[in-house]
Amino acid sequence: MNRQDNKGIFITFEGIDGCGKSSQTDLAAEYLESRGIDFIKTRDPGGTALGSKIREILLNYEGHIASMSELFLYLADRAQHVEEKILPALSEGKVVLCDRYVDSTIAYQGYARGLDKQQILDLNSIVAYGLMPDLTFVFDITPEVACSRLGEKKDRLEAECSEFHKKVREGFLDLAGKDPGRIKVIDAGRGIGAISEDVISILKTRLSC
Ligand SMILES: Nc1ncnc2c1ncn2[C@@H]1O[C@H](COP(=O)(O)OP(=O)(O)O)[C@@H](O)[C@H]1O
Ligand SMILES: [Mg+2]
């Protein structure tokens, strides 16, 4: 299984918790559906049955998780997700919409937790058979606004202090600055409809739909 088998297009949705990734992934899916485009919508972590169990640990474990353990839990999830779901869909020519992927790992585990960013990329490349997204949306928003959207329903990661999310946000912006061809930064401090219009306009261009 490798990247050369792919005929589909791999699109990822990134940004801090509460920026609107899930909402925008859903709206992008609705749009592709309306255009009759063959796609799957999935999420990282938790895109497979095994991944759901790993996601449960990552979001709700109440004890301390060492940064390296956290990284490898995400990577274990990703290995399963890429092999079981993403690569097969791409090889069938489908568009894959994925809520979070490698940029989240670099932003959270690298920029915010302080693990080596190149090492994360190298490990990711191993577990993901070298699979990188063709197109990535980063929904950019201040941690304060994102936090106010989430209200009281915060999981283990969402409950991290806003200093942490500031580092994550800067990480995403830095990654986007280094790879502007792949990563599109969208101002996510606006209404859901305006953000979705920007996303769909980029999708129209990339997918000719
Ligand atoms: N542009 C927006 N303006 C106001 N509220 C939003 C916007 N986008 C999403 N929301 C709301 O904010 C919360 C978090 O959105 P969600 O899409 O789940 O974000 P994420 O998946 O990035 O954590 C949800 O309650 C959602 O309905
Ligand atoms: Mg979400």
pLDDT of the residue at 4: 53
CA of 4 to the centre of ligand 2 (A): 30
pLDDT of the residue at 102: 98
Say if ligand 1 is within 6 A of residue 142 CB: no
CA of 137 to the centre of ligand 2 (A): 14
User: For the chain, which ranges sit under pLDDT 50?
Assistant: 1-2
pLDDT of the residue at 170: 98
Query: Residue 149 CA: which ligand 1 atom is closest?
Result: 12
Helix (H, G, I), strand (E, B) or coil at 35: coil
What is the set of domains in the chain, with CATH numbers?
A: 3-207 (3.40.50.300)
CA of 130 to the centre of ligand 2 (A): 25
In this structure, what are the phi and psi dihedrals at residue 126, rounded to the nearest 5 degrees? -65, -50
pLDDT of the residue at 108: 97
Hey, which of 23, 108, 196 would you mutate to test ligand 1's pocket, going by the most ligand atoms within 8 Å of its Cβ? Answer: 23
Alpha helices, DSSP H only, in 85-132?
Answer: 87-91, 102-105, 117-127
Q: Which residues have a Cβ under 8 Å from the Cβ of 71 and sit 6 or more positions away?
A: 105, 109, 113, 115, 120, 123
